[in-house]
Amino acid sequence: MNEKNRLTAAVVPCSAQPLLFDETLCAGCNRCVEVCQVDIMIPNPEKGRPPVVLYPGECYYCGSCVMECPVDRALRLQHPLMNRAKFVPARG
């Protein structure tokens, strides 16, 4: 492949960290990458590693990636701090 035709990708810096992968549980199956509605991730070049989140600020927080993950607790969705107050359980 010609060097000038080579594609590269880099993580776009952002204060949001919507997806948290547990590297001890993630098998690197990339099912989350395939189901992501906004394409914020790419498969990791290292086989068996969690995907690379390139555009964390673009996440819709829909949770489809978490629901698609075959390994329980390998991937968690972390809402922004300002939105977490809406999810505080009511005292009852």
Structural domain boundaries in the chain: 26-80
> How many angstroms separate the CA atoms of 15 and 38, rounded?
18
Second CATH level (architecture) for the domain 26-80: 2-Layer Sandwich (3.30)
Backbone angles phi, psi at 36, to 5 degrees: -60, 125
Question: If you write DSSP's letter for every residue of 10-71 in order, what string do you get?
Answer: -PPP-S---EEE-TTT-----HHHHH-SS--EE--SSTTSPPEES-GGG-----HHHHH-SS
Average pLDDT over residues 5-22: 86
Summarised one tens digit per residue, pLDDT across range 29-77 is 999 999 999 999 999 999 999 999 999 999 999 999 999 999 999 999 9
Q: What is the mean pLDDT of residues 8-29?
A: 90
**pLDDT, average across residues 66-91:** 83
Closest to 17 in 3D by CA, of 37, 44, 41, 33: 41
Q: Which residue has the higher pLDDT, 84 or 5?
A: 5
**How many other C-beta atoms can be found within 10 angstroms of the C-beta atom of residue 37?**
10
Residue 18: pLDDT band (50, 70, 90) is very high
